[in-house]
Every structure is written in C-alpha cells, then in structure tokens.
Amino acid sequence: MEVGQQGTQIKFDNQEHLHKIQAWVQDSRAYANLGKCANYIPALERANPSQLGICIIGSNGSIVKAGDFNTAFTLQSISKVIGFIAACIDYGIAYVLERVDVEPTGDAFNSIIRLEVHKPGRPFNPMINAGAITVASLLGGRNPVEKVESICLLIEKIVGRRPTINEDVFHSEWQTAHRNRALAYYLKETGFLDCSVEEAIEVYLKQCSIEVTTEDVAMIGLVLANDGYHPIRKEQIFSKEVARLTKALMVTCGMYNASGKFAASVGIPAKSGVSGGILAAIPPRGRSTDSPFMDGCGIGIYGPAIDEFGNSVAGVKLLQQIAREWDFNIF
C-alpha cells in the first residue's frame, strides 16, 4: 500500500499481472535499436536509447510497474494534451475550437505547410506544434509564468505532486527552436496568437520541459479513461465533454502522421512525445471478459528511441502487445 504525499492517492501493487508485463517489456525492448533518441533537441540526445518502462494504474487503484518505469523524462508533446484541457477549462470548448480545429493533417508534427495553404490559417489540431503553440498563447494568465502555472496546477491536481520544469531541456530547445518560432511568427501574422511570439514559445517549450515519470503519465491517462473523473481522489477534475473531445483528438492525431496506423494496429487513445513518452487511456469496457483492468486504466510508457514520426519504437510495440493480449482495443 502506498499513500501519496498528500494522503490522497492510495494505490496497491498488482502482483497478478506483473510477470506478464515484465516479460512483454523484455520482448519489446529488443525493438529499441530500430529507433534513435531525438537529436534536434540536444539535451534529449543524452538519454539511454535502450530504456523501456511502463506503469499501468487501474480505476480501482491497482498499479503495475515494470522496466525503467522510474526514469524521469520530459513531457514534450504529451503536454499538448494537458495544455488543451487546461485551455478548455479556462475558456470553454467553443472558444478554443475557434482558434484550433480538430482535423488530422497526415503531415509531420512540426510542419508549416498547411498554415498557408488552408485559409484562414487556423491550425488543424492542438496535437501538432502549430496548434499547441496557439493553445499555449491563450492559456489563462497574464504572462508566460502564469500560463505555465495553469498547466502545472492541472498536473498537480491529477498526480498529487507539483511537477518541476527541466531547465536544461528547456534551455536546450529554447536555443534551437527556429522552426517553432517560424510557426509562431506565421500564427501571429494571421491573428491566431493571443500574446507575443517569444511569450508563446516560452510557454510552449516550458510545458514540453515538464518532468514526469511513467506513473504521473499513467495517472493522467486514468483520469482521461474515466471521462475527467479521478477515481482515486474521487473528484471530477474536468468535464466529460472535454475528456471525450481530448480522447477523440488522441485517436485521430495523437501519434502524428502515424495515428492511422496506430489506430489500426493498437486501437487506443494515445499521445506520444519526442522524449519517448506515451500517454494512453483505456476506458472501462462494458462486456465482460477475463482481461484485467475491465474498469479502465491509464498507461504511461517511456522508451526514448523514437521512429521517423516521433513515436517510441519499443513503446508502440509494447502497447500493441498489451492491447492484443488484454483486449484493450476500443474499436
């Protein structure tokens, strides 16, 4: 039994499923050498590419952790999910969707091409960089510090501890974020940024640099799986509408231009980041099977060797195996 720092998070180890997960982590780790750590953000290149870890938290508070589950990593694009939820909480869904659409692109996460080709330049969705920078600019708060705070507060409410920002990763990307600045300048020109370019980039890169473990990510997945309700804290953290919209965006855009393949081969709402993290939400299933986690669960994965789309190679393999063995596919 484990009691969280604030006494609110009671979780118990799920021994029954531990051995299976450990074996699957071992199988999937072999695929890590097909990927590489992100090198366009210098600080991320220093990660150990052979690492793979997972944490699964069930709605009843049971927890399974295996492999390198305790390694700290930065959220990167997983933060786009939290930023989107925070903006919807602060301003309502309608206001946010006036500024960012909900269509997949089929392009790379940092692509600039559609902003100009499709008038009037509204970013296609909040899971690509253009959409996430737009969302970062409209977060509640008068300056970058307050805007980042609205994301940190939401994470704190979910995971039960205050997240920290990895300043090394932030500064490393701040100095090399030329393409993100190009996106932001374009968005500023077309009227989609609610603050200055440098402020929006600061918020966006700081949210990407929030440091977590697989357990934190699993807890976020758990709340999404339960339509915004935190089954361990017994509190509605955000509305069912926001949760369902976010999961729809995860299914259609969460794994970038590999989202279609991921939906077809794994079939669960998920969001990846270039640091090698994956957030997944498995909603409760109505029909009864003997699979574990029938009441839903959240999954956090870390495997820093990524493929050409920006998704953890071993992490995707691991999710694919678990989804198949435990009937997690939502379709």
Of 72, 69, 78, the closest CA to residue 255 belongs to 78
Which residue's CB is nearer to ligand DON, number 77 or number 111?
Answer: 77
**Are the C-beta atoms of 312 and 276 separated by less than 8 Å?**
yes
129 annotated ligand binder: yes
The nearer residue to ligand DON, 18 or 112, going by C-beta atoms, is: 112
Which of 257, 274, 150 minimizes the C-alpha distance to 208? 274
Residue 279 Cα to chain centre, angstroms? 5
| Cβ proximity to ligand DON, 208 vs 322, nearer residue | 208
State yes or no: 137 annotated in a binding site. no
**Closer CB to ligand DON, residue 187 or residue 294?**
187
Nearer to ligand DON, 109 or 229 (CB): 109
Q: How far is CA 140 from the centre of its chain?
A: 20
CA atoms of 222 and 158, how far apart (whole Å) = 9
Whether residue 125 is annotated as binding a ligand: the answer is no
Which residue is associated with the tokens 């109505």? 286
Q: Smallest gap, in angstroms, from Cβ of residue 268 to ligand DON?
A: 17
Rounded to the nearest angstrom, the gap between the alpha carbon of residue 143 and the centroid of all alpha carbons in its chain is: 24
Distances (CA, A) of 293 to 60, 182, 222, 323: 9, 44, 11, 11
Alpha-carbon distances of 207 from 15, 34, 149, 214, rounded to whole Å: 34, 28, 9, 17
Q: Which is nearer to ligand DON, 131 or 298 (by Cβ)?
A: 131
Cα→Cα distances 101→28, 166, 227, 262, 280, Å = 35, 30, 21, 21, 22
Q: Is 31 annotated as a binding residue?
A: no
> Which positions are annotated as active-site residues?
77, 80, 204, 256, 274
Q: Which residue is nearest to ligand DON (CB)?
A: 310
235 assigned binding-site residue: no
Q: Given the rule CB under 6 A, which residues bind ligand DON?
A: 76-77, 109-110, 129, 173, 180, 208, 256, 272-274, 310
Radius of gyration of the chain (CA): 18
How many CB atoms neighbour CB 117 within 10 A?
8
Cβ 240 vs Cβ 216: under 8 Å? no
Minimum CB separation of residue 177 from ligand DON in Å reads 7
77 is in an annotated binding site: yes
Q: Is 39 annotated as a binding residue?
A: no
For the bound state, the minimum distance from the C-beta of residue 59 to ligand DON, rounded and expressed in Å, comes to 28
CA angle 170–173–177, rounded 5-degree value: 135
What CA–CA distances, in Å, run from 67 to 53, 76, 301? 4, 21, 10
Q: CB of 256: closest distance to ligand DON in angstroms?
A: 6
Annotated binding site: 77, 129, 173, 180, 204, 256, 274
Annotated binding site for substrate: 77, 129, 173, 180, 204, 256, 274
